[in-house]
Structure 1
Amino acid sequence: CGEGRAQEGPGLLNLGALIVDPLEAVSAQADRAYLRLERRFRRMHRLHLARRSFIIQNIPGFWVTAFLNHPQLSAMISLRDEDMLCYLMNLEVRELRHSRTGCKFKFRFWSNPYFQNKVIMKEYECRASGRVVSIATRIRWHRGQEPPALVHRNRDTVRSFFSWFSQHSLPEADRVAQIIKDDLWPNPLQYYLLGDRPCRARGGLARWPTEAPSRPYGFQSG
């Protein structure tokens, strides 16, 4: 009996190898197919965002309307902020290589009387230590145009939306980033279509630049 069991061992090992090898091959093939599908999806997503970006650039006041119709973001926008956001041509959000490592926000503006920047960016990055840090473009304000950090509106005191770019440690700054990234950016059309924004911004639309927008930019999500 002992000899029989001894002879069984190699046979079972060979049988196991016959089962495992094909499974590994199938698994590797499935992994390759998944990566191809993922790359294809990312490419389609980039093309979709590029088309969306180009269309939005041709809709006067799209982003300021979406911001003002958003129930949380609108509470952070003063009258002066609204006038400045009327010059917002495009907003782009890009996750860094891995979503856990950070996210970049890119605001592209028409020429305006408030600041010199055509592009203002803010970036969040998660360091290896787990600490999240943020950096932002310094806004080059025209003389006398820098808004106060705190704005009195009715009986409330609110921060200027543009102070978000210089806030790097306040919890509300992270909250703004989270709202834009997870809610406004994926589907801004739902807020744009909520209805006309308040009449207080009509003057800004009257100043909407007449220059033709350029082709879609390469900076896109994914």
Structure 2
Amino acid sequence: MKAKISSQELSPGLRMETVQEDDEPLGRDGGDEHESDDEFGQFDSDLSDDDVGETVEVDDPMELLWTSFSQADKESRGLLSVAQTRLGVVNALGIGVTTGEITAALVGFKVPHPFNVSFDVFADLVAFFRKGDEDNQDDGLPRAVAANSMPALKGIVMTGPPSPKRQRTGDKPAEANESTKEELEQIQKVIESVQKVEEELDQVNEEQAKEILAIETKYNAKKRPTYVKRNKLLVDIPKFWKQALVNHPLIGNCMDEDDEKVLEFLETFDVQFVDDNGGYKLEMTFKENPFFTTTTLWKQFKFTDDDELDVKASEISWKDEAGVTEESEKFNFIQWFISTESEHEIADIIKDDLWKNPVMFYMMDEDEEEEEEEEEEEGEGEENEDGDEEVEGEDKE
């Protein structure tokens, strides 16, 4: 069963325009009404009216990215906060993106917390959300989870020569030199030659991946005793794994209230690497609870010799009190955990992200609360300083 996240409906809004020579950009009040339903239509989001800027004219993707990044970087730091990043992505793509989705994607990109987004990371985020929006609009998982890859700008395919920069003399665009047929044929030959070189690189990358997998397998076995030792210590923290799972920005998004009630009884969580081909097993152990009689739930992922994913999972014996039926949509996360569908994105996040440093996610809420308290104290201090200055001014009078 898929984790179900409510999808956002397409609605008209912010739109970026690519200006070709001899074309005038359509204004918000002009042009064919149907042309506003193009691929840059905006999804509903949590943008305020102040967030939506004017239409920006650009001639190439890189200029569009840099313009969006610069407009979002109001302090000119060269780095964006999560909120600024969201605004930049919305301006670049014209789709609604929440701060939660931005945070989830940054976690997937392994950007360290607190997040400071550089232009390179911003470019990858834009490409990622564009790809996810094209391929996964109907997927139940969040866009940051549903996409199978995180494409960078190098994935952009040109269908013709680059558009000349738009130059203006007064209000009229200057004429641009058109590429000749011979030039286009020469460019195509170079591209075909480069593609052959890329195929050679792909072969080397495959060899690299095999060697990396062998090294990871070796050290996973070496780290196993340390993981066991860590789990024994974490048992002494009440509801540790429940809190770590819920706090994770991606995993937590796949849970409902019923899942959180079940996780109140979660005692231990374990990840075991089961073979030399990247296979692994997730395992949860529960105390006696009012939802099911099964004490251990597990889910295993293995790859066959043909690189096909083989998924197996434990069965569960629900109690009547849980109210679970075939039509029921309760317990999103638990239902995913016991399913054998070949959806491994959440499992990979657990293995590669949560399992490596669960304490960081357990402490995440506490860290945010401390930051909020510090901001409140700073705000109160500034107010007191302003009040003292006013009193001093009155005394002088």
In the superposition, the TM-score normalised over structure 2's length comes to: 0.35
Equivalent residue of 1:92, what SS?
Answer: strand
Asked if the contact 1:104/1:121 (under 8 Å) is kept, the reply is yes
Root-mean-square deviation (Å): 2.4
Superposed, 1:1-222 pairs within 5 Å as: 42-43=221-222, 45-100=223-278, 102-147=279-324, 149-151=328-330, 160-169=332-341, 173-196=343-366
Q: Distance in 1 between matches of 2:225 and 2:351?
A: 19
47-56 or 141-150: bigger deviation: 141-150
Between Structure 1 and Structure 2, which shows a larger proportion of strand residues?
1
Q: 1:175: how far off?
A: 1.3
Instruction: Give the CA deviation at 1:99.
Output: 4.1
Cα deviation per residue 1:32-82 (whole Å; 9 max; x = unaligned)? xxx9xx68x944x23321221111111101011101110011111111100
SS in 1 for 2:250: coil
Q: CA deviation at 1:104?
A: 0.7
Task: Tell me how far apart the structure 2 counterparts of residues 51 and 93 of structure 1 sit (CA, whole Å).
Answer: 13
CA contact (8 A) 2:298 2:338 kept: no
Q: Distance in 1 between matches of 2:306 and 2:229?
A: 38
* Counterpart Cα distance in 1 of 2:233 and 2:323: 31
Q: Distance in 2 between matches of 1:120 and 1:175?
A: 18
1:168 maps to a residue whose letter is T
Q: Classify the secondary structure of the residue corresponding to 1:195.
A: helix
Contact 1:96 1:103 in 2 (8 A): yes
Check the 8 A contact 2:242/2:264 in 1, yes or no. Answer: yes
Which ranges in structure 2 are unaligned for 5 or more consecutive residues? Answer: 1-214, 368-397
State the secondary structure of the residue aligned to 1:186. coil
Q: TM-score, normalised by structure 1?
A: 0.61
The secondary structure found in structure 2 opposite 1:117 is coil
**Retained in 1: the 8 A contact 2:318–2:324?**
no
In structure 2, the residue corresponding to 1:189 is in which secondary structure? Answer: helix
1:165 positional shift:
2.5
Which position in structure 2 is the counterpart of 1:204? none
Using the alignment, how far apart are the partners of 2:313 and 2:221 within structure 1? Answer: 27
Matched residue of 2:344: which SS? helix
Cα deviation, residue 189, structure 1:
0.6
Q: Deviations over 1:175-200 (max 9, x none)?
A: 11111111111110110011259xxx
Distance 1:62 1:177 in 2: 19
Identity %, equivalent residues: 26
Return the alpha-carbon distance in structure 1 between the equivalents of residues 320 and 251 of structure 2. Answer: 27
Aligned length: 149
Question: Greater relative contact order: 1 or 2 (C-alpha under 8 angstroms, separation 6 or more)?
Answer: 1
What runs of 5+ residues in structure 1 fail to find an aligned partner?
1-34, 152-158, 198-222
Amino acid aligned to 1:150: E
